Structure 1
Amino acid sequence: MMHSERLYRAVFEHSMEAVFFTTPEGVVLAANPAACKLFQRTEEEICKVGRYGLVDASSPRLADFLAERARHGRARAELVLVRGDGTRFFGEASSEQFVDDEQQVRTILIVRDLSESKKSEQLLAESEAQYRLLVAAMEEGVTLQDEHSAIITFNKSAERILGLTEDQLRGKTSFDPDWYPIHEDGSPFPGETHPVVETLRTGLPQSNVVMGIHKPDGRLTWISINVQPIFKEGETKPYRVVATMHDITESKLSNERIVRLAHFDQLTGLPNRTLLNDRFRYTLSLAQRSGETLAVMFIDLDNFKDINDTLGHNVGDQVLMEVATRIKSILREEDTLSRQGGDEYILILPNADADGAALVASKLIEVVAQPCHIAPHELIVTPSIGIAIYPHDGANLESLSKNADAAMYRAKREGRNGFRFYTSEMQAHSARNLKLANMLRHALERDELQLHYQPQFSLQDGRIVGVEALLRWAHPEMGMIAPSEFIPIAESTGQIIQIGEWVLRTAARQLRVWFDKQLPAMVMAVNLSAVQFRQKNFPELIDRILAEEKLPHHFLELELTEATAMDNPKAAIDVMDKLHERGIRMSIDDFGTGYASLSYLKQFKVCKLKIDQGFVRDIIDDPEDRAIVTAIINMASSLGIQTIAEGVETASQLNFLRLQGCNEVQGYYFSKPLPAELFEAFATGNADDKGAEQPFGPWGAPGRTG
């Protein structure tokens, strides 16, 4: 017995938990050291305050604790306890009654400190609350799903992104067909490959999986999903997954718009040059593997600029869209039509030979040329088409399109509204043009350019009243190069500006020299290119040249082609007005070959119309040419404008023109264009035997020597 008591006392004294012996009434009989430490009181103090002095009377569970102990003799509860310094803390109190050796009812009370666990619980609760707030506030949608992919819980963003209410979303699985999920290419996204299902099956996370889902209202929403697995301890198969999702609809549409801007023409929706290159590379690879040919067409609309200038760019844009639609209507799915800007298109025809390309070109011309109704206008648009065939005409898009372009220009030169195939002759022509362009850069400094002069005669009295300065190029190796060949090159390379200024200055200087030599007064006519005429401050340039050469303004006549004048009529009128104010004469060259309207012609400050030699050549045999020439002369006369006919070569032509009232003439019938010294001799009547002819007398017929 003594041994048991000592053992009991040892346990009581050394227990890590607070232990009290009390009477049923709450008197503390003993408290172990752990109890004194926990409550920060001595044993004597504890015994003095009693059991109820250690418990906060407002403790929520106190009444239940006492009632249970009274009924069963034992009780357990979490109570709010009071230390000696008055601080409160949570503790778990366990109480059990027993009868001691003296047959007295006693209570053993064991108290365990719950401060740390309560603090951990509070921190955990606060953390969970913060987590819930964070998840609820996230722009990302978040779902927690079970092992069957059924949604257990979710945030508001998930409801918004998925377009479902709380009731609709809870319990819904990733297999649900109502989602109608699709891949980015538009193909179905099977439920068994859904990223949530994949993670549940494999235990592996899924990242940035993009899919399209259909909301209940039918709208397509694009989302990017990340999925993380949750495992029970010791298990390898997830029992939960957390899915986070972003609504990427706007960014995806923006990216698609960027791609469209980068690869498609914004007006017609056709592929642009970048996408054309990609499509061509693919088509070329197929042709190389199969040994087949392919065709490249270069399409340009004839006189399209007229529509823009007269009806406005809005009508022009509608025409371009209509043309694109018509061309696409006759193409196969594998063909590629691209707009290159302006009114130019490139068409790639896989597995097409010359015959197939010709058939497509014929259909294309037919469908484009149909009347185009753009209220209130009915327009006729025709195409000129050049065709190059791989591999005969080039091995890449650059060479094929360049050669097709050259063939297209041949189609334009030969009447428009047609197609031409690229030929080796065109290649030779292109090579020669490149060579001429390089040589032309040095022609001025090497003194290779010359001016020849052709006299212009009055049909009233036969006098020389003018002279036209005509540019010639005498190359030391290639000989005389025709103006019709090198002037377009000079215009396309921009060299015409420098050359044109040289021509104007040289012609003005030469006329001044002749005046100083007492030659009869005459007007110097100089041809202008379109590039020169559009040159900034062109009237001021003329002022400067005439001042430097001391030539009165009214002795210079500038010839502008009808096509150039009508290219931008309002701008042409502005420049003509400025030249007219300075006393400089203007004439329209090649009249009848263009499309000048009578209303514009009245506004042009011109003194003369030059009848194109193409009409003069056949006026004796061709009634249509006779009618055109007669109409031009009569119209000009009614407007108070003089006429001059070029290319006169026979007496019959001369007599017809004189009878119709034409004012002036020039041509080989009188004299070919002559170098300055020969023209001087011709004009003074001192021709030698080097090819100059006698002056034109009153209706006499001079002889020709060249």
Structure 2
Amino acid sequence: MSSSTSAEHDTPFKKAYQRALKDYARTGEGEEALMCAYELGRKAVAEQMNILDLVALHQNTVWKALLCGTSIERMGAYLRRSEEFLAEVMAPFEMMHRGFDDTIHQLQQTNATLEQRVEERTRALRESQRDTADLARLYLILSSINSAIVRLQDREELFKEACRIAVNQGGYPVAWVSTRNSETVSDTWCHLAGGDPTCRTTPIDSISEEIGRSIEKVYEEGVPVVGCRDENPVTFNGYAMAYAAYGLLPLKVEGKVIGVLVLFSAEPDAFRPDEMRLLTEMAGDLSFAMEHIKKGEQLNYLAYYDQLTGLPNRSLLLEQLPLQLQSAERAGRIAVLLLVDLVHFSDVSDTYGRHVGDELLKQIARRFGESRNCEIVARLGAEKFALSFTNTNEPDLVAHLLEQEVFSTFAKPFQVGDTEAHIAVKVGIALFPADAGDADTLFKNAEIALKRAHRKDEPYLLYDAAMNERIIHSVTMQAKLRKAIERGSLDVHYQPKVSAANGRLMGLEALLRYTDPETGIVRPGGFIPLLEETGMIIVIGDWVMRRAAEDLHRWRRLHLNPPRVAVNVSPIQLRQKNFIQSLRQILQETGGLSDGLDMEITESAVMTEVKMNIPKLEAVREMGFHIAIDDFGTGYSSLSYLSQLPVNALKIDRSFIVEMTERPNSLAIVTSIITLAHSLGLEVVAEGVELEEQAKLLRLLRCELIQGNLYSRPLPASEIVHLFNLDRIPESEDRSQRTEGR
């Protein structure tokens, strides 16, 4: 048949053939499709189609289908099913053509050639896809790290983020950055695939000698290093991690290698030239960022810190102070700002030289910096410092801060070489929120107070003039108490505890007494709270315990038959970690015996940390002490804990005793406490008894011991001994002494 004739009859056939072939090659389902192929073959025979034309039609249809996006995985199946389809089409030709076998053989060869071409194309496509994916992955890392460089201005955070990006986006099992200061590795960061978040870790060169040598090569030569490894897995922070190759990239600042970026890969052919080119570019970007951060840190330091002392300057103080005030306000505390001016400091530099003045300023800065309470120490100018505190909620404690943080700092002379210098200061003080509601106003008012101190030639002044007198009194009292401690001019008096039943002396309470050389006797309420606020109560409390133990030991040695002696222990003493050890040391130094000593601890002190206090009290009891809970009824005691406490007595607070004859509620409380104590097998002591009517009620309620000025005020050790052998302690005839406090 002519070609024109063929063209007239081929178009419908071609469409039917292509449609049937594609449907079957794609799905491979249904005998109807194969029957359709067979019918197409019969139709081709009937129309006397050339078999080669039919094969050409078949191949073109298959090739076009493959080029139209058929996935690599489906190509093989597609070709097999197209062969099955063609076999069915060719079946009718078997009877028409003797050379059918040769044609089939030729077709198989053609198909084999086609498969080979597809396989080669598939391999090339896969390699191209891998190269493209690797480049895309590396460009993604590069882009993400550049974004981090723009976003992060902290070197540590940048290194952590770079490691995280390399692992999470780059697919490296481990990423590591190590920096070196001089000859020592100072900091390392790593990130592990599937491990913990980015973390500080041990130096990388501790993993193996090979990597250690490679790192040294990077530091020495400043060039990237690539290596392969076929040994067992290594361990990073407890995670076993196998790797087949590693790449080390130098990080440079001002041309000097100051760090190394290390990447590990599970692929032995990793870190090829194209990959290393992009990774080297990434390391260069990190190096640029480090150089920029270093310059920024230098500028920031100069802007916010004093170069000589390293302390924050005025700018940083005024930035940090508002945050400090916000924190104080949330915590319900006050903030204290002290401006300290060095008086005539320029004379020191003029006399001894500027180098001596600079060294003195450094020493002053160090002493201020050693404070545990001061939150901000700043140098504001050549001779001025600022200190801020928020660790108090009582304005009266400003006196303690002045004494502890300023005056004690300058009490000792400064030594520079052979030069000894005494520095005087003026201090201006402002409080938040009493003197100011914001940082700027607080600073301004502290400056005003400092100027007033200079003008009035006072060592310190508060902005609030009304508080000055209180603070002056408090500071003066602290100084006097410190001198009294140093000179041993404090004293211990003893107040009797009398049997309510027969009036016999049953015990003594040791009470601290202080006599001011200028004003005379100071009531306990005028100096005991100050000792507790300043922490001096720890030293004083130990001194009172030692003095009571010594007196008791001396009285026994003289066969004076003394009763038991009770010593008060403050909550601050009880909280000390070395409380028991200190107590044992005092006993060893005073004769080694605690028999005859009692310890009185307030209810609130015991119950504040009752679980921690129970073992301490048990240790005290094992030493031979009797324990009484003082001021009972003023705090909150859990009955379950009260039954567990190793105590011997409850001591009713004086406020209930004073009011028990006038207020039924107080009498009811006293009655309840006595009943509770007896039910627990405890003795009861009533303190503050001043009237016979009170003593009678207590006898009726079966209270065992009475203490108060009804029988005796606190007496010195030399006078209290006269009461030891009396059959009965008489009531005091001096009514005036009954109003004296403990």
TM-score interval for Structure 1 and Structure 2 normalised by the shorter chain = 0.3 to 0.5
Q: Which has the higher contact order (CA 8 A, sep 6+)?
A: 2
Give the alignment's TM-score, normalised by structure 2: 0.40
Per the normalisation by structure 1, the TM-score is: 0.42
**Structure holding more strand per residue:** 1
